[in-house]
Amino acid sequence: MFTFEKFLVKTNRYRMQLYNKLSGFERAALIDEAGKDRITVSFYQYFKIETPQLFRDKLFLEWNALDILGRIYVSFEGINAQLSVPSENLHALKNQLDSISFLRDIRLNVALAHDNKSFLKLKIKVKNKIVADGLKDETFDVTNRGVHLNATEFNAMLAHPDTVCVDMRNHYESEIGYFEGAVTPDVDTFRDSLDVIEQDLKNNKEDKNLLMYCTGGIRCEKASAYYKHKGFKNVFQLEGGIIEYTRQVQAEGIENKFIGKNFVFDQRRAEKITEDVVASCHQCGVPCDTHTNCANDGCHLLFIQCDECSEAKNNTCSEECQDVIQLSSEVQKELRRGKEITGETFKKGRSAVLKFKKKFS
């Protein structure tokens, strides 16, 4: 029988590889060489994990053996996983998850469009939280969640005259796609949105239906419990988020109420839900919904850039960054030396040089 204690002894004895040792470039080459199709999936589960570091190491050994790549967060409160798995190993992954009591029969949100290089490394990190919400969970019942709705139920609630639909994602996510009539808060973080929404709806806690959605559902799980704690009486959430909603829409012929693209946190950056382009290039203002990162590694700004601006500006966000990337790699490294990597350095679409960035009400 497996125990974390036995696992720890075995790990120390054989000094097993517990961290990724390949660069993204090396992994991309191996993916090309293998020539196998891969599937991008995601899942989450809130559950009290007593020893998250040992659980993390167990997952790394098992998933590394299955050639799984991705970004996974493990904490005392559960797991949040986004993965790329070879198609031939998907069944083995499901079996492995079923062997873990709190992950048995877990729903996997399968990506709409697959990219063999959606992830290029296996990164499993132990965090304080699986989503940075800034909340003190001991102050409210995190299991007292809102009502889960499927796609059909969500559409019906969305059409109700007493419903306020709120996008629980950040500004750069909702900028390229959203549900019809949804409120899209101009926030940088999930934690920021919690206070903004409560303040905006403080006079409607009892007479409005608070309907929430996010990418895969994980943010709404915590937010719905938080808002019920704050006195909201009618709290609802889209089960499985935009990803599962779209799957149900396509599989069951349900009317689609989402417009544009769904932002995703991997190399693809987005999945196209409809042909509508609801955003614009942050540099010239033409209709565009393609996110990119500034080619200057010392900036790395995430912003929307059309093909013409990308070519004219060498995939940079400003003239200053365009000048920097013309320098040798050694000089660029020297310019970055000693600079603290903070949220300001890796900001998302907030630079003053982006003249046509979208404004939210």
Residue positions annotated with a catalytic role: 214
Amino acid at residue number 130: I
- Sheet arrangement for strand 78-86: 109-110, 38-46, 78-86, 69-75, 122-126
Q: Are strands 234-238 and 209-213 parallel, antiparallel or unpaired?
A: parallel
- ∠ CA 236-148-46, rounded to 5°: 110
- Count of residues in the chain: 361
Q: Which helix (H) or strand (E) holds 85?
A: strand 78-86
With tokens 């994602």, the residue in question is: 169
With tokens 């990119």, the residue in question is: 292
Question: Which is it for the CA torsion 124, 126, 130, 132, positive or negative?
Answer: negative
DSSP state letters, 183-194: B----SSHHHHH
CA-to-CA distance for 77 and 131, rounded, in angstroms?
10
114, 39 in Cβ contact below 8 A?
yes
Angle, nearest 10°, between helix axes 52-65 and 4-14? Answer: 60
Return contacts of 295-301, CB within 8 angstroms, 24+ apart: 295/321, 295/325, 296/321, 296/322, 296/324, 296/325, 296/332, 297/332, 297/336, 298/324, 298/332, 298/335, 298/336, 298/339, 298/345, 299/324, 299/345, 300/345, 300/346, 301/346, 301/347, 301/348, 301/349, 301/351
